[in-house]
């Protein structure tokens, strides 16, 4: 096991039976030999608990009980984490094969890194790819300037860093991940691995589609007192462009610029 640092994955779950089994299998089917998998269910009534029970003998710990929401559920799991590296995967999202082994290799190659991220795919309800989302090396100032330039679906951090920064802030119900990764990036150097590790599922019941106004309100709270001047935001956007081109992502950048020109929203690349 010396070559395979322990990885803890936490999945918060609530009434996502339509997708939950695919999430669970995407974790367990990694074939990673030093895995701790924790599922925290908020008292689902849609058959999710039956699905979890089918895999109980392969889980390190699970529970189904009422909670105060996703952030509370995640903190329950994070408190129990014993892995050297930690992550969470939502109950409607998935990992792609090889992600954990890639993380292990990256951690060995960059022992100073506290935060390691990969790239992400957007998928539909049937797991069909919609488009990829590419990232670059994360930094605290870049996250302040441009927002959520990474995704929990493809991110891992050292548990020692978590112990230093504390758990998720339960004041936030939508942008808690942004606030969390800002704290991590403020206290540790991050690296980016140019490989798609996870997927975010787009469907009608996601928080993003149902609570956009609350995301905006919480982002304003998180950034209060540490806003970045507009000229610096442009500098960081150029930085990201240069790093992506350095990774050979010419087609991706051009595709993003085309989407922006057509008024389809989102980042330019």
User: Looking at the DSSP assignment, which residues form a beta bridge with residue 7?
Assistant: 35, 85
Look over the chain and give the mean of its residue pLDDT values, rounded to a whole number: 94
pLDDT > 70 fraction of the chain, expressed in percent and rounded: 95
Model confidence over 54-96: pLDDT tens digits?
999 999 999 999 999 999 999 999 999 999 999 999 999 999 9
Which comes out higher in pLDDT, residue 210 or 254?
254
Q: What is the pTM of this model?
A: 0.93
Which comes out higher in pLDDT, residue 79 or 210?
79
**What is residue 14's predicted lDDT score, i.e. its pLDDT?**
97
pLDDT > 90 fraction of the chain, expressed in percent and rounded: 88
**What is residue 210's predicted lDDT score, i.e. its pLDDT?**
60
pLDDT at 11 over 60: yes
Average pLDDT (107-134) is 97
Average pLDDT (20-27) is 98
pLDDT category at 2 given cuts 50, 70, 90 is: low
Cα(264)–Cα(255) distance, rounded to whole angstroms? 11
Cα(131)–Cα(155) distance, rounded to whole angstroms? 18
pLDDT category at 267 given cuts 50, 70, 90 is: low
- Cβ atoms within 10 A of the Cβ of 59, count? 18
Nearest CA to 193 out of 229, 219, 156 is that of 156
Model confidence over 158-204: pLDDT tens digits?
999 999 999 999 999 999 999 999 999 999 999 999 999 999 999 87
- Work out the angle at residue 160's Cα, subtended by the Cα atoms of residues 159 and 165, and round it to the nearest 5 degrees: 95
Contact by Cβ (8 Å): 108, 29: no
Average pLDDT (222-250) is 94
pLDDT at 239 over 70: yes
pLDDT at 268 over 90: no
CA distances to 20, 77, 212, 233 from 217, rounded to whole Å, are 29, 27, 9, 20
């Amino acid at each position: 096991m010396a070559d395979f640092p322990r990885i803890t994955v936490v999945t918060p779950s609530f009434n996502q039976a339509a997708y939950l089994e695919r999430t669970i299998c995407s974790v367990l089917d990694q074939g990673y030999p030093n895995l701790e998998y924790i599922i925290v269910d908020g008292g689902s009534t849609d058959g999710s608990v039956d699905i979890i029970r089918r895999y109980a003998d392969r889980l390190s710990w699970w529970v189904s009980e009422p909670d105060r929401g996703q952030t509370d559920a995640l903190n329950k799991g994070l408190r129990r984490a014993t892995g050297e590296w930690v992550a969470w995967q939502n109950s409607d999202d998935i990992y792609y094969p090889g992600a954990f082994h890639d993380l292990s290799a990256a951690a060995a190659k960059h022992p100073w890194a506290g935060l390691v991220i990969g790239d992400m795919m957007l998928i539909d309800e049937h797991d069909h790819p919609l488009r990829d989302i590419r990232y670059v090396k994360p930094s605290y100032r870049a996250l302040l300037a441009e927002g959520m330039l990474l995704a929990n679906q493809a991110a891992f951090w050292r548990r020692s860093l978590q112990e230093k920064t504390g758990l998720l802030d339960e004041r936030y119900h939508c942008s808690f991940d942004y606030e969390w990764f800002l704290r991590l990036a403020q206290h540790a150097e991050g690296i980016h691995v140019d490989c798609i590790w996870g997927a975010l599922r787009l469907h009608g019941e996601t928080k993003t589609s149902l609570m956009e106004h609350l995301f905006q309100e919480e982002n304003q709270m998180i950034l209060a007192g540490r806003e970045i001047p507009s000229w610096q935001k442009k500098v960081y956007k150029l930085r990201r462009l240069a790093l992506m081109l350095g990774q050979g992502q010419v087609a991706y950048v051009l595709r993003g610029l085309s989407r922006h020109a057509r008024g389809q929203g989102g980042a330019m690349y």
